Structure 1
Amino acid sequence: MNLIKSALLGARNCLCASSRQQRLAQLASTGEVPCSVAFYHRVADTVANGWTMSTQQFREHIDYFQSRMTIVDLAEVQWRVREGHSVDQSMSITFDDGYADNMDYAIPLLIERDIPCTYFVTTQNVINGKPFPHDRDAGQPLQPNTVAQIREMSDAGIEIGCHTRRHIDFSNVHSIEHVRSEIIEAKDELEQMIGRPVHYFAFPFGLPAQLTQAAIEIVHEAGFAGFCSAFGAYNHIGNDWFHIRRFHGDPEFERLVNWCTYDTAKARTEPRVQYFLPPAKSFEQTQAMMPSMPVPHITTFGSFHA
């Protein structure tokens, strides 16, 4: 984002600040403040790929969230959406893929500050130690997390989520056996890795094209409590709680502020994702499978040992 565009967006944020605050106050009065979920990939100051942000930028984001929003976990987001009770601005933080560099700064910072986070892992890259295909193809073979690091994060209180076995694009997969392997086998591998249940799934790429009916059905069949997209949207109260909508934790700070102050234009242009699930599991039945995750709640963590 160039300086001119950043300045224009900053000016727009300032001009809209009062009207947005009034709108949020109206939504708060009826318990309908939308929930925000941001996703990140890699936080590091070296060898940047297209999804890397610096440690300083990440710290600025966390400072902003803590000063203006309530930071919650994904279970709390789902509870607010379903129960129709959200009286303040909330933020849930997630990571995708599983980059080793996140252990150097981002994860210790979150645990030091007792901030909830869901860390979505592509299992085969972690197990085999091979770089992600998109980085290898770009000539930047960055190191994924190790199994030991994922276990250490889980033991320290970071929620580990599933991001398939091989970071596949479901829009290009036409074999139901392949879909099942990338979802169900990935969940099994991850649960064996950390010795705990895995409750959430995030679609690689996360655009409407990847959110196929077959894949969502198998996510549901596998017993996940919900799935995450990544096309940029809010979680509106009373909406579909099984589908958790996320936006990019943009390194351009003004774009992040624009999202966090609730841009109604973005809300109006959100893509529609339609799918159908068998009525096998109600929200209460899903929660009964997760006795360690009562709702509503805000998670706090213990000490982290790097």
Structure 2
Amino acid sequence: MNGLKTLGTWLSRTEQQSKLAILIYHRVHPKPYNRIGLEVDAQLFDQQMGLMAKYFNVLPLADAVQSLKNNSLPPRAVCITFDDGYADNCEVALPILKKWQLPATFFIASGFLNGGCMWNDKILEAVFQSPLNTLMLSEIDEHPLAIDTKENKERTANYLLSKLIYLPHAERAEKVEYVLQQAQVTAPNNLMMTVEQLCHMKQQGMDIGGHTCSHPILASLPEKEAEQEIANNKAYLESVLGEPLRVFAYPNGKPGRDYQAAHINIVKKLGYECAVSTAWGVSSPDADCYQLARFTPWDTSSGKFMLRHVLNYRNTLPEVV
């Protein structure tokens, strides 16, 4: 407890004013998650949000960015964001955010609403739900891929995700369906939000942002197709929610690799006020508000979670493109 007080005191120093930290979450599982990735369960998320409420000033993203540009942020300013639009954001995360009276922004890949499934989740389902002990995927790798133990499942899943992520969009989709077929697994239809859940999130005071329709690597698409992904997503979500979207998140989000200067210009042209990347760090008033830094708080203990924030505040500005 003394350690938390010490870290809280450090964060209270005036040097932390005018710096904005933005957290990235994806899923919040009802119970401990036994696969891969930097994801949290309800108990851990509740613990982290309690620390947010006690030690930080949590702001809506668009409002925080305006204060950042005006150099008027409160000290220890933080925004909470979620990517993609998972159903558990509404079912599990929302009640915890409401409990602690915290705002958050949810970036929605609209093409997966109402029963869709993202490609990476299909790979995870194929590997972890397959009744087989070995995957034979000759179209991807000539060697058998073991999935007989948890460790082998993790190894194979990580290998397939890294192997497929930067393939052209259509080719990747084809390969993912091939993996599902070989694994003898059907993709789930209940991982992502419904439109009704999305509207409920908005009604409960959460902010909704754009995240493209089908979550492609924008840099892998022809520019016209990338613009359609961003524009159609924005138009659809605005028609559902009945108000303009103010904020956007680049899919995957690595500057210079997953998105480029042309995509930043598209986001500006479409009227977004700011956009977030996945470059780690905090943003200062001179940061590009269309390439704001974010980071994932993966630590499971309160002390390490708080220390991660201290270290994050010391990071430099993200790489820009």
Same fold by TM-score, threshold 0.5 exceeded?
yes
After the TM superposition, which residues 90-239 of structure 1 pair with which residues of structure 2 at under 5 Å, given as runs?
90-127=77-114, 129-139=115-125, 141=187, 143-173=191-221, 175-208=222-255, 209-239=257-287
Report the 3-state secondary structure (helix = DSSP H, G, I; strand = E; otherwise coil) of the residue aligned with 1:96: strand
Q: Please give the alpha-carbon distance, in whole angstroms, between the structure 2 residues aligned to 1:193 and 1:84.
A: 34
Judging changes above 3 Å, is the alpha-carbon distance between structure 1 residues 134 and 86 closer, same or farther for their aligned structure 2 residues?
same
Q: Please give the alpha-carbon distance, in whole angstroms, between the structure 2 residues aligned to 1:23 and 1:74.
A: 20
Which structure has more RCO (C-alpha within 8 Å, separation ≥ 6)? 1
Deviations 1:262-300 (A, max 9, x none): 4465x14x54213xxxxxxxxxxxxxxxxxxxxxxxxxx
Q: Does 1:36 align with 2:83?
A: no
Q: What is the RMSD computed on CA atoms of the aligned residues?
A: 2.5
Cα deviation for residue 134 of structure 1 reads 0.7
After the TM superposition, which residues 27-66 of structure 1 pair with which residues of structure 2 at under 5 Å, given as runs?
27=15, 32-44=17-29, 45=31, 48-49=34-35, 50-66=37-53
Q: When the two structures are superposed, what TM-score results if normalisation uses the length of structure 2?
A: 0.72
Deviations 1:201-227 (A, max 9, x none): 101111111231111110011111111
* Structure 2, unaligned runs of 5 or more: 127-186
- On the 8 A contact 1:81/1:240 being kept in 2, the answer is no
Judging changes above 3 Å, is the alpha-carbon distance between structure 1 residues 37 and 23 closer, same or farther for their aligned structure 2 residues?
closer
Q: Please give the alpha-carbon distance, in whole angstroms, between the structure 2 residues aligned to 1:160 and 1:264.
A: 26
* Structure 1, unaligned runs of 5 or more: 1-13, 275-306
After the TM superposition, which residues 17-28 of structure 1 pair with which residues of structure 2 at under 5 Å, given as runs?
25-27=13-15
- On the 8 A contact 2:211/2:250 being kept in 1, the answer is yes
After the TM superposition, which residues 76-87 of structure 1 pair with which residues of structure 2 at under 5 Å, given as runs?
76-87=63-74
Report the 3-state secondary structure (helix = DSSP H, G, I; strand = E; otherwise coil) of the residue aligned with 1:37: strand
Report the 3-state secondary structure (helix = DSSP H, G, I; strand = E; otherwise coil) of the residue aligned with 2:248: strand
- On the 8 A contact 1:37/1:247 being kept in 2, the answer is yes
Q: Please give the alpha-carbon distance, in whole angstroms, between the structure 2 residues aligned to 1:47 and 1:68.
A: 27
AA matched with 2:260:
T
Q: Please give the alpha-carbon distance, in whole angstroms, between the structure 2 residues aligned to 1:255 and 1:214.
A: 38
Matched with 1:290 is none
Cα deviation for residue 87 of structure 1 reads 4.1
Judging changes above 3 Å, is the alpha-carbon distance between structure 1 residues 106 and 263 closer, same or farther for their aligned structure 2 residues?
closer
Pick aligned residue for 1:259 from 297, 308, 321? 308
AA matched with 1:100:
A
Q: Please give the alpha-carbon distance, in whole angstroms, between the structure 2 residues aligned to 1:150 and 1:95.
A: 13
Which stretch of the first structure deviates more once superposed, 100-109 or 236-245?
Answer: 236-245
Judging changes above 3 Å, is the alpha-carbon distance between structure 1 residues 132 and 188 closer, same or farther for their aligned structure 2 residues?
same
Matched with 1:283 is none
Cα deviation for residue 110 of structure 1 reads 1.2
Cα deviation for residue 238 of structure 1 reads 3.3
Matched with 1:68 is 55
Report the 3-state secondary structure (helix = DSSP H, G, I; strand = E; otherwise coil) of the residue aligned with 1:154: helix
- On the 8 A contact 1:161/1:201 being kept in 2, the answer is yes
Judging changes above 3 Å, is the alpha-carbon distance between structure 1 residues 211 and 233 closer, same or farther for their aligned structure 2 residues?
farther
Q: Please give the alpha-carbon distance, in whole angstroms, between the structure 2 residues aligned to 1:48 and 1:205.
A: 23
Identity over aligned pairs, percent: 24
Cα deviation for residue 43 of structure 1 reads 0.4
Which stretch of the first structure deviates more once superposed, 189-198 or 254-263?
Answer: 254-263
- On the 8 A contact 1:85/1:237 being kept in 2, the answer is no
Cα deviation for residue 23 of structure 1 reads 8.0
Q: Tell me the matched-pair count.
A: 253
Cα deviation for residue 102 of structure 1 reads 2.2
Cα deviation for residue 112 of structure 1 reads 3.6
Judging changes above 3 Å, is the alpha-carbon distance between structure 1 residues 46 and 63 closer, same or farther for their aligned structure 2 residues?
closer
